[in-house]
Structure 1
Amino acid sequence: MEKWDAYLKNGMKTELLLTRGQPIPDGLYHLVVDVLVQHNDGDLLFMQRALDRRGYPGYFEASVGGSALAGEIAEQAALRELEEETGIVPWDCRLVKIKRYDNDACFIHTFIARTDYDKEDISLQEGETIAYKWVPLSDIDNFLNTHKVIPRQKDYITTLTTRGAR
């Protein structure tokens, strides 16, 4: 049973714990992380969701992530999720926070993990992902137009790469 810290709207952590799958009481939030992975050569990592996933089965997503566990800060959760979902270990990357926003009952912290991790050593998380692809920045537009990518991420990736993900 996964437990999360509960936060107030102002970002202050409370003493309360939330449980995955249970409704989040009004006025409380939990911490979520979203991590884009960029190789030192500029390529972005896209993970393909398992075909039996509830939301967007078979789609590519430009990030890994999830909810921070009770006691974790955003950076710890980002590094844990990165390792769980890709095999990239914390000492093989540099984490850069790029934004924080609120969505429903979540505080979402978005990071870029820059790494020189061996591109062939990416791990797939059983039940979560079925494939991965490193996409050069020069091919991002083509990839977004020819592959099923989670819609909310298409505009975000286009904006990020236009501003320069390097």
Structure 2
Amino acid sequence: MELWDIYNKYRKKTDKTHEKGTRTGEGEFHIAVRVWIANEKNEVLIQRRQLENITWPGMWEAAAAGSAITGDNSEETAIKETMEEIGLNIENDVLEPLFSVQFKNGFDDNYLVRREVNIEDLKLEAEEVLDAKWATMDEIREMVKKEQFIPFPFLERVFHIILSSVRIHKNKPHAHPSGKLSNEIDMGDSYRVFYNNQVVGNILVFEKQLGHKKLHLMHMPEEFQNKGIEAEIIRRMESLYPEAEKWELETKVDINRKDNIYEDLGYIETGETGMVNEKVNFANYLKENDIYRIGDIVDLKNK
């Protein structure tokens, strides 16, 4: 018997568990994961589900997928499912968070691993996986048309991130040296941003209250501005937390900056300001509508 932890709509763990294969109650969610693997040629490693699978039998999909059992978090589940389904150990690889999809019964966390893999070295789980192979993005698009690949509505978003020069890696939470944000950041998530493999900034996300997320965007060097990096970062952050109903953004005031990137993304300047020290001031923005979320039309509840 496989048991899942039950979460509420704000992704807070409850004291309930759920048995796989049975119906969840109204407002009950579990954590599911999907791992995409891409090589240097931007080919995608895909697996074919066994013909006896309850959902999407015989269909191709991402390299690995599954649900978190009681006690496991999302990242642990991604590593475990990849090992169980295709015999690939990704424990020491960078597990890049792509986005999370809130569907009827849960949160589907999608991750990306970039590495070379020999198909011959894979050990497929006989009960779950029929086959595995590398495929180009165009080949996968064609497989979707032929109803051979699960028609994820977010597939093009996965491809976009694989091809993007912007990469986001999650760090362990840490406190800001100034102490100003320490209490909030210690309870949040920290990310490092890369552009063409060069570190260009850091992001901090934490919860002010249920459904209200705050994004602290560290100042990006001038040479990396106006390249679409910040817009991509903000969209990625919003899509990682579909449970958020409101976003607050705090960023360094730059009097020399001429674009309106935050307003263009739907944020409204609140007029509130903050100060880390006599040299660094922060401006505050708020967004309550048109939050960037990844849509889902696929019922993944029995995955």
The TM-score bracket by the shorter chain reads 0.7 to 0.9
Question: 1:165 maps to what in 2?
Answer: 162
Q: Map 1:1-166; keep pairs closer than 5 Å.
A: 1-91=1-91, 93-137=93-137, 139-145=139-145, 148-151=148-151, 153=152, 155-161=153-159, 163-166=160-163
Task: Return the letter of the residue paired with 2:47.
Answer: M
Supply the distance in 1 between the matched residues of 2:17 and 2:40 (Cα, whole angstroms).
38
Supply the distance in 1 between the matched residues of 2:63 and 2:136 (Cα, whole angstroms).
15
Aligned to 2:162, the other structure's residue is in SS state: coil
Deviation at 1:24, TM superposition (A): 1.4
Tell which deviates more after alignment, 4-13 or 20-29.
20-29
Give a deviation string over 1:38-88, Cα, whole Å, max 9, x none: 124422011112222222222211342111011111100011011111111
**Do the aligned partners of 2:63 and 2:82 also contact (CA within 8 Å) in 1?**
no
Task: Return the letter of the residue paired with 1:43.
Answer: E
**Do the aligned partners of 1:30 and 1:105 also contact (CA within 8 Å) in 2?**
yes
Structure number with the higher helix fraction is 1
Q: Mind listing any 5+ residue stretches in structure 2 that lack a counterpart? A: 164-303
Question: 2:282 maps to what in 1?
Answer: none
Identity %: 26
Report which structure shows greater RCO (CA 8 Å, sep ≥6): 1
Supply the distance in 1 between the matched residues of 2:44 and 2:16 (Cα, whole angstroms).
37
**Do the aligned partners of 2:35 and 2:65 also contact (CA within 8 Å) in 1?**
yes
Task: Return the letter of the residue paired with 1:65.
Answer: A
Give a deviation string over 1:13-38, Cα, whole Å, max 9, x none: 11222211222122221111111111
Question: 2:171 maps to what in 1?
Answer: none
Supply the distance in 2 between the matched residues of 1:69 and 1:17 (Cα, whole angstroms).
9
Task: Return the letter of the residue paired with 1:127.
Answer: E
Question: 2:167 maps to what in 1?
Answer: none
Supply the distance in 2 between the matched residues of 1:29 and 1:146 (Cα, whole angstroms).
32
Aligned to 2:114, the other structure's residue is in SS state: strand
With the length of structure 1 as denominator, give the TM-score of the two structures: 0.85
Aligned residues: 163
Supply the distance in 1 between the matched residues of 2:56 and 2:138 (Cα, whole angstroms).
25
With the length of structure 2 as denominator, give the TM-score of the two structures: 0.49
Aligned to 1:9, the other structure's residue is in SS state: coil
Larger Rg: 2
Aligned to 2:149, the other structure's residue is in SS state: coil
Task: Return the letter of the residue paired with 2:55.
Answer: G
Distance 1:22 1:55, change over 3 A: closer
Question: 2:275 maps to what in 1?
Answer: none
Distance 1:141 1:102, change over 3 A: closer
Distance 1:90 1:159, change over 3 A: closer
Supply the distance in 2 between the matched residues of 1:27 and 1:143 (Cα, whole angstroms).
34
Tell which deviates more after alignment, 83-92 or 130-139.
130-139
**Do the aligned partners of 2:46 and 2:133 also contact (CA within 8 Å) in 1?**
yes
Supply the distance in 2 between the matched residues of 1:70 and 1:85 (Cα, whole angstroms).
19
Supply the distance in 2 between the matched residues of 1:143 and 1:131 (Cα, whole angstroms).
15
